[in-house]
C-alpha cells in the first residue's frame, strides 16, 4: 500500500504533469495575450497544485470578463474558457458614452456615439437601480430584428419605458417591463402594418390593444 501511495504521489507531483501551456478562448474585447500574461505565473506548477484562488483573483482584474471555466488537459495544459460581458446599450454621462452590459458594468467608453446599440436615457438614475433594470428587461425581450431598429430607449420610472425607432423617429410607448415578450410581438405586428415613413407613435403599453397614432 505504501508503495502505491508513493507511486501516486510521484505521478501527481512529477514534472511530467506540470503546467506547460495555458490556452485561452472566448475573448473578443479582452486581449487574450493580456489574460495569458496575467495568469502565466503558475507555469511549471504541477497540475494538482494549480492555485485556482489566485487564478480567480488575477482574472478579476479584467472587468470585461463576466465568468470563466477552467479545464485541465493532461499532461501539461490548462484551458481557460472565458465568457465576456455583452453590451446592451450606451449611457451618456458627462459627455462620454458608456457601453454597458445588462448588469450596468461599463464595457467600453467613447466620446462619440457607439454604433449598433441604443442610447439609454434613465434621467441620471443609477445603472444599479430599478429604472435601468426595467429598461434592460425591455431591450432583452426584443427579437434581434426589432432590437436593430431601436435608436434609443428612455425611462424616468420603471413603469414609463419608451423607445425611439430609427428612420423617421417613430416613438413607442412601452410602459412597464411586464409582459414584454407579448408587447414585442405586438409591436412587430404593428410595424409590419405601418408605413415606415409615417411619423407617429406606437402604443403597446396594453399588450392586448396596441395602436399606432400618426402625428
Topology classification of domain 89-214: Rossmann fold (3.40.50)
Q: What superfamily does domain 2-84 belong to in CATH?
A: membrane protein fhac (3.10.20.310)
For the chain, domain boundaries = 2-84, 89-214
> Tens of pLDDT along 3-13?
444 444 444 55
- Is the CB of residue 106 less than 8 Å from the CB of residue 100? yes
Q: Is 159 helix (H, G, I), strand (E, B) or coil?
A: coil
Name the grid cell of 213. 397614432
Q: How confident is the model at residue 106 (pLDDT cuts 50, 70, 90)?
A: very high
Average pLDDT, the chain: 92
| Apex 57 CA angle, 51 and 58, nearest 5 | 90
CA atoms within 13 Å, Cβ hemisphere of 3: 0
pTM exceeds 0.85: no
pLDDT at 1 over 70: no
Q: What is the pLDDT of residue 147?
A: 96
DSSP percent split of the chain into helix, strand, coil, nearest 5 = 30, 30, 40
CA atoms within 13 Å, Cβ hemisphere of 52: 10
Task: Please give the radius of gyration of the chain, using alpha carbons only, rounded to the nearest integer.
Answer: 25
> Tens of pLDDT along 53-75?
999 999 999 989 999 999 999 99
> Tens of pLDDT along 163-191?
999 999 999 999 999 999 999 999 999 99
Q: What is the pLDDT of residue 17?
A: 83
pLDDT at 141 over 60: yes
Amino acid at each position: 500500500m505504501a508503495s502505491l501511495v508513493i507511486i501516486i504521489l510521484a505521478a501527481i507531483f512529477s514534472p511530467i504533469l506540470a503546467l506547460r501551456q495555458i490556452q485561452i478562448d472566448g475573448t473578443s474585447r479582452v486581449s487574450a495575450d493580456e489574460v495569458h500574461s496575467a495568469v502565466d505565473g503558475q507555469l511549471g506548477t504541477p497540475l494538482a497544485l494549480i492555485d485556482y484562488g489566485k487564478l480567480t483573483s488575477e482574472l478579476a482584474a479584467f472587468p470585461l470578463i463576466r465568468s470563466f471555466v477552467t479545464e485541465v488537459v493532461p499532461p501539461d495544459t490548462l484551458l481557460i474558457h472565458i465568457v465576456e460581458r455583452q453590451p446592451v446599450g450606451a449611457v451618456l454621462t458627462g459627455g462620454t458614452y458608456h457601453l454597458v452590459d445588462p448588469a450596468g458594468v461599463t464595457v467600453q467608453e467613447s466620446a462619440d456615439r457607439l454604433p449598433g446599440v441604443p442610447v439609454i436615457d434613465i434621467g441620471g438614475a443609477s445603472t444599479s437601480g430599478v429604472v435601468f433594470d426595467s429598461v434592460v428587461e425591455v431591450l432583452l425581450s426584443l427579437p434581434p430584428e426589432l432590437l436593430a431598429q431601436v435608436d434609443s430607449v428612455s425611462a424616468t420610472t420603471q413603469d414609463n419605458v419608451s423607445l425611439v425607432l430609427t428612420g423617421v423617429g417613430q416613438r413607442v410607448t412601452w410602459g412597464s417591463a411586464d409582459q414584454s415578450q407579448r408587447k414585442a410581438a405586438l409591436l412587430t405586428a404593428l410595424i409590419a402594418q405601418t408605413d415606415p415613413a409615417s411619423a407617429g407613435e406606437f402604443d403597446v403599453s396594453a399588450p392586448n390593444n396596441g395602436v399606432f397614432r400618426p402625428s
